[in-house]
Structure 1
Amino acid sequence: MAKCAHLDRLAADVEHGETLEAPRHWPLVFLDLDDVVAVNEHYGGLDALDAIRGKRIDADLVFERLWSPMAREILVDLHARHQGHLRWVISSTWRLNFTRAQLQEVMRRSGLACVADGIEPKERWSTPHFPGLTRCHEVLDWLRKHHRGEPYVILDDVYSWGRSAYIAPGVEVPRTRLVLCEEWIGLQLRHWPRIVAALSKP
């Protein structure tokens, strides 16, 4: 599969230290991490956090084995398919423990630089955190504030998203925008057609 193509223009810092923003019409990917990209077979979020803080002597191994190889390859290919014209919003609970810069560092050191470079800037980089509400509420709030009609897809897992239907029936996003992965398995090739379809139309 294709290698990760970097958008140097978007990754570079401008004079005042702010990252240049991607055009707002580019498609959006809402990305959960646990059970989507990180299946916790070897390492998980806390291992990655310790690694970037210099608390792991095996940091290189942590980054090498942090993600599911299949899921990582799918995200890299998705980036290549769109010639890098994707924007990424982190919906994972990792956003509660990592800053945007820390998560970008983790991704760059673990083979997902293409995602790191495309993470939305400022407050748009992640969905809000609403204790007591659901992942669906958080994504919908982000969309209400920032969505401008561009295509989007939500990559999540059955357990995390499934709580939404149980806790708040009737609060939902269009099913055609939602790709749910199985716990401990993560993103698979069978999800590819649904992802491509969601990102192909507003």
Structure 2
Amino acid sequence: LADFRGRYAMKRPVLFLDFDDVICLNAPYGGYHAKLALDEETFRSSQELHDKLFDSEAKRFLAAIDDEFRPVYVLSTNWRLLFQQSELVEILNYCGLPFVTQRLHPEWSTPVQQRQGLRAAEIKSWLALHPEFSDGWVVLDDKLSGNGFKMWNPQDRSFLVLCQEYVGFREAEYSQLRDALQRRVR
């Protein structure tokens, strides 16, 4: 972990990544479908699930962000409550997002809070444990999960990109995230 901090802390920003309504639009499949398929051992053979679990346009925009900025990823998604890390890595790899798994921080997810809906608090808790990233983070989330961010100060909120429910990560959010990352890496 110390080597990771030394090599990446000031070179790469952390991207806190949510799945639902960001890269997974839950139509036709969502996290519970993936969980059921994994439980039945059918995930590895279900090309339809691989192709449709994560939105192709959202994946394309995330890949473009990754190509340009090479962020370190921390998962802030509720999927971390359904799946173990190894299962999430498998899902991301099978569904065309191996770059996320290749750059997962060793402490790959935000800490789970006692109460639901405290995504903002979970991210702040993770950052408190990793002060080396205090000025090098961005958040990609959705408006429903991101309702707790309104308590953040305007400066911090400027590094927050919220996607529209059922629409996901699109060009407008891509531009906002790119801008936030450019401000972080200056």
Q: TM-score, normalised by structure 1?
A: 0.79
Shift of 1:188: 0.5
| 1:45-194 alignment, distance < 5 Å | 45-56=31-42, 59-82=46-69, 85-121=70-106, 124-132=107-115, 134-148=118-132, 149-162=134-147, 164=148, 170-171=151-152, 174-194=156-176
In the other structure, the counterpart of 2:181 is 199
Q: Deviations over 1:148-174 (max 9, x none)?
A: 145221011111111x26xxx635571
Q: d(CA) in 2 for partners of 1:46 and 1:171?
A: 31
Q: d(CA) in 1 for partners of 2:9 and 2:53?
A: 30
Q: Secondary structure at the match of 1:120?
A: strand
Bigger helix fraction: 2
Q: d(CA) in 1 for partners of 2:173 and 2:64?
A: 13
Shift of 1:144: 1.2
Q: What count of residue pairs does the alignment treat as equivalent?
A: 176
**Structure 2: gaps of 5 or more residues:** none
Q: Relative contact order: is structure 1 or structure 2 higher (C-alpha 8 Å, sep ≥ 6)?
A: 2
The alignment-based identity, stated in percent, is 29
**Structure 1: gaps of 5 or more residues:** 1-17
Q: d(CA) in 2 for partners of 1:197 and 1:87?
A: 17
How big is the alpha-carbon RMSD for the aligned residues of Structure 1 and Structure 2?
2.2
Letter in 1 for 2:33: D
Shift of 1:54: 4.2
Q: d(CA) in 2 for partners of 1:161 and 1:78?
A: 20
After TM superposition, the structure 1 stretch with the greater mean CA deviation from structure 2, 22-31 or 90-99, is 22-31
Q: TM-score, normalised by structure 2?
A: 0.85
